[in-house]
Amino acid sequence: MMNKHEPLVSPYVLPHETVYPCERLGEQYIRLVHPSGLTVLLCPKQMHTLSAALVVRYGARDGRFACGDRAAHRYPEGVAHYLEHQTFTREDGASVDGAFAALGVDVNAWTNYEKTAYILNAPTHAEQALELLLRFVLTPAFTEASVEKERGIIEQEIRMIEDDPWEALHRQTMRCLYPHHYITRGVCGSVRSIASITPKTLYDCHGAFYRPENMYLCVCGDMTRERLVKILDGVMPTICPRSGDAARSCVSGAYHHRMPMRALCRSYGNVSKPIFSIVWRDDTAPCEPFAREAYAARMDVLSELLFSRAGAFYNRLLEKELITNAYSYGATITEDVAYHEISGESDDPEAVYRLYWETLQQARREHFTAVDFERNRRVCYATFIADFDDTEEIADLLVAAEGDGVGAFDRLAVIDTLTLSEIDALFDASFDRKHTALSVLLPQEHSAMIKGDTTL
């Protein structure tokens, strides 16, 4: 597989340039730092579509930051997401979508708590599309009119999210686990918070964070290192360097571990049947990136062993008719939060909660077998390799890995060398009652009523 690719390392080797191969998957990627300061990750792959993500290390958590000698300032909630929307607007007020469409390229963006990503999928004109992506993200053009126009669009996005009961449940659950933490807030802000955002707000934040040294570019597709570096050499000097000072974000979410948490949260919402979340706050997840990645891989296998649809817990719920088809489980482990969550829809969430503890107790008594362990390790392995068929998924993996400070293949190495005793040890230290909460959204009376009239 690997010999199908052109050589990754050329005589023009940039500082901090490294090749990361994965023989098992027949994939490799290169990581380099361009002289502009932009970090680049390239996974060459013989596919029709080239996918790319230009990532800014700026997200919803960075609401308060300082620049240079200036004191820290708090910006309105939702400004990172607003900036993501506005970045698509050119000086004449038109959207950059048209320029990409003329190339046959679709472009999109997303914002989460830690970062903002601008993504494209280019089955054709990949080089022009990459150049355009870099130019529009790094060249802001905000006007009073365009910022005002975007407000209505984002208000509708906020209303759409507010109508999602799972989102309401998630926010409630996070308030149980991490009171006052940024994760309890919506990425988009609120209708009220975005009302105060102006072009100046956006220029301030763009100038502070949208800087090559605070960004990275992930590319996967039919692209060589030489062609990519040539594009960057051509584009970056014309849009860099930037004036002004870089931001120093004043956010730290990690200290929220060890804060007291609530064991039970209940509220009412527009649901026809209760939806619930059983969540365990994991205060023991490591901080160092590779240790955290290895820990997350072990937690995935443990989670599969305990809660998968092939496991005892889910099948007891099914037999007792305590669960509908809506059921999910898994761990979230970042530098600031770590928790394991089971969520679903049930007539009796408290019975599900009881069964959760019974299952854990039984598993502690009986221990995992080598056969069960191997099966669930296979699941994690297969889930990992499935992402490597799609250039967009690979670009996403590179985005996540670079954001987390690890290699994209590190998880595979951990899965390969995992042992049952490691999983047993992790289980012994996990899922204690003190750090577990049940969060439930109950149906409001009459919420399901739909009234109407019909005309022909």
Site for other proteins in 229-288 (CB under 8 A): 250-252, 269-273
Binds other proteins by CB under 8 A, chosen from 192, 200, 230, 354: 192
Whichever of 38 and 83 has its CB closer to other proteins, that residue is 83
List, in sequence order, every residue forming a beta bridge with 67; answer none if it has no partner.
247
123 lies in the binding site for other proteins (CB under 8 A)? yes
Stretch that binds other proteins, among 236-244, 281-289, 426-434, 446-454 (CB under 8 A): 446-454
180 lies in the binding site for other proteins (CB under 8 A)? yes
177 lies in the binding site for other proteins (CB under 8 A)? no
**Any idea what DSSP says for residue 14?**
P
185 lies in the binding site for other proteins (CB under 8 A)? yes
360-389 residues in contact with other proteins (CB under 8 A) are 375-376, 378-379, 381-383, 385-386, 388-389
Q: What are phi and psi of 439, to 5 degrees?
A: -120, 130
**Residue recorded with tokens 């999983």:** 423
∠ at Cα 363 (432, 257), nearest 5°? Answer: 20
Cα–Cα distances in angstroms (integers) from residue 19 to residues 10, 32, 41, 230, 384, in the given order: 11, 9, 10, 18, 20
Binds other proteins by CB under 8 A, chosen from 112, 143, 324, 332: 324
136-165 residues in contact with other proteins (CB under 8 A) are 149-154, 156-157, 159-160, 162-165
Whichever of 124 and 238 has its CB closer to other proteins, that residue is 124
Whichever of 77 and 404 has its CB closer to other proteins, that residue is 77
315 lies in the binding site for other proteins (CB under 8 A)? yes
- The beta-strand segments (E) located in 282-431 are 327-333, 338-345
How many residues sit close enough to other proteins to count as binding (CB under 8 A)?
Answer: 94
Give the containing element (helix H, strand E) for 297.
Answer: helix 289-307
351 lies in the binding site for other proteins (CB under 8 A)? no
Whichever of 222 and 283 has its CB closer to other proteins, that residue is 222
Stretch that binds other proteins, among 7-15, 103-111, 207-215, 348-356 (CB under 8 A): 103-111
Number of Cα atoms under 13 Å in the Cβ half of residue 40: 30
Order of strands, sheet of 50-56, starting from the edge strand that comes earlier in the sequence: 18-22, 27-33, 39-44, 215-221, 50-56, 116-122, 106-111
The two structure tokens encoding residue 212: 């090559």
Give the containing element (helix H, strand E) for 425.
Answer: helix 420-428
